[in-house]
Amino acid sequence: MASSAIKSSFYKWHRVLGLIGLVPVIFWTLSGLSHPFMSNWFRPSIAKEVFKPLSQSKMQPALSLQQVMDKNNLNELRNFNLIHFNKGTFYQVLGRDSVYQYYSATDGILLPNGDVQYAEYLARFFTQDSTSTLKSILLQTTFDAQYQPINHLLPVWKVSFNRPDGMDVYIETGHNRMGTFNNNTRKIMLWVFEQFHTWQFLADIAGDTFRNVFLLAIMCVMLFSLISGLTIYGLFWKKFKTIQQNRKAKGTEDKRFVHRFHRQIGLIVSFVMFTFVVSGAFHLIVKLYHNEPAKADYGQVITRKQLTVSNLTLPIADSTIKQTGLVSFNGNTFYQVVDNKKEVLYFDTQTGHERELGDEDYARFLSTYYHTPTSGLTTYKGRVKVDVIKQFNNEYGFINKRLPVARVSYPNGDNWYIETTSSKLATKVAGIDRAEGLSFIFLHKYFGMSWAGKDIRDIVSMLAALGMLVASLFGFAAFIKNK
């Protein structure tokens, strides 16, 4: 009698948990099915994805940065760069107010609305569209449904073309690069994925923490539903088998085929459901664990007096200079030069002397800066190891956007990835982050199937999601039939 009561209780709780998780399962599986279409098969194409700036020798600046600053009574700035576009060569100067101004490198005259013009130039370069009119150009300083946090780069200009496909291109003018691009189809898919997979509507209503806690609770419900379903199958499998054998022997109609399909499909997809649920729950737990405000981006203000040596007389060939900027750390100010081999060099603005291993030192400095009180920073003996990452890998994946980056590796296993040319933290990977990242890409996104190609990997993940959906719907149909 006690055994019968336990079995009945398992049945009851499995039905209750299954009903609670039904709508989330439908949301997650349908939106998951849409992801390969959004990111692979129906992903819009664009003519150019990378902008390669001219070398300094081809831009031929007539004036130095100091001459431009003196002519325009500029006493300070945050950074600068030399750029060339259809209106000539300009000094792109980031002021103390974090606004870019453009001054001619020929006569020093300010170009009105220079940042807007350069954003349009880059957008037309990436799309190779010189004829379509523009619907709008808006400066975006926060992420939203169409420009999501996965794109990382801010601020960006949203350049919207007046075309049938509704193309929007997001441009970071300070580094001549594109954040992302969306056409009308992708905008719809992004909205569907954000609302039904990440449940952004909950964050809009009650905040990100509430959403993550709520979704974690749903994940726990799904896990217990899975466990209870497997337990029921284990407790009753002999009974299920006997009933089916008797039915076949008597040749009677199978009136409980819905229940049987639910059990069979559920058993088949139980492992993939377990991987989806566990990796998703782990992802949410880590997000809650890191639910602390990010430290503000490193900022600097450099005065005219600190710029003794001209940027045009550095001991490096102009033909090899691809980008020039300024950095200030540890009481010194340097010209930060990226050459045609993507090496980052540092020259003292007071003496013009090159600083050996300057990029390593700056990466260590920025890593120390971005450590928050809760992330902790232990004083280690010797120099913390720094190496350059020039391509994405399992730990530093494509979603991080920025390359190349300096990886600052600490003895405790933590890795901090720094983009020194923008002075920004690309990402940090501690013990729990590394475990979560691997579980998410292998158990949730099926990167273990990458050897078979992206199309096969996407098909396998879609079949797994579809199996979960079908098992859940058969379970709901069985519930209705019982009623």
Q: Judge contact between 310 and 64, C-beta under 8 A.
A: yes
DSSP state of 401: -
Half-sphere exposure of 48 (CA within 13 A, CB side): 16
| Sign of the torsion angle spanned by Cα atoms 76, 81, 82, 87 | negative
Half-sphere exposure of 315 (CA within 13 A, CB side): 9
Cα distance between residue 264 and residue 467, in whole Å: 11
Model confidence pLDDT, tens digit, residues 321-347: 999 999 999 999 999 999 999 999 999
Compute φ and ψ for 54, nearest 5 degrees.
Answer: -70, 155
Give the per-residue pLDDT at 130: 93
- Do the strands 424-429 and 415-419 form a parallel or antiparallel pair, or are they unpaired? antiparallel
If DSSP codes are grouped into helix, strand and coil, which group holds residue 137?
strand
Give the per-residue pLDDT at 1: 43
Cα distance between residue 402 and residue 425, in whole Å: 10
Give the per-residue pLDDT at 141: 94
Bridge partners of 315? none
> Amino acid identity of 315?
P
Q: Judge contact between 78 and 100, C-beta under 8 A.
A: no
Cα distance between residue 344 and residue 331, in whole Å: 20
Which residue, among 298, 242, 238, 340, has the nearest Cα to 426 in the 3D structure?
298
Give the per-residue pLDDT at 327: 97
DSSP letters spanning 86-134: TTEEEEEEE-TTS-EEEEETTT--EETTHHHHHHHHHHHHHHT-SSSPE
Tens of pLDDT, residue by residue, the chain (483 residues): 455 666 677 678 778 888 888 888 889 888 888 877 777 666 788 999 999 999 999 999 999 999 999 999 999 999 999 999 987 999 999 999 999 999 999 999 999 999 999 999 999 999 999 999 999 999 999 988 889 888 989 999 999 999 999 999 999 999 999 999 999 988 888 888 888 888 888 988 998 889 999 999 999 998 888 887 777 766 555 555 555 555 555 556 555 667 777 777 778 888 888 888 888 888 888 888 877 777 889 989 999 999 999 999 999 999 999 999 999 999 999 999 999 999 999 999 999 999 999 999 999 999 999 987 655 555 555 578 999 999 888 788 777 888 899 999 998 888 999 999 999 999 988 878 778 877 877 777 777 777 677 778 878 888 888 888 888 888 787 778 775
The two tokens of residue 149 are 């946090």
Give the per-residue pLDDT at 7: 63
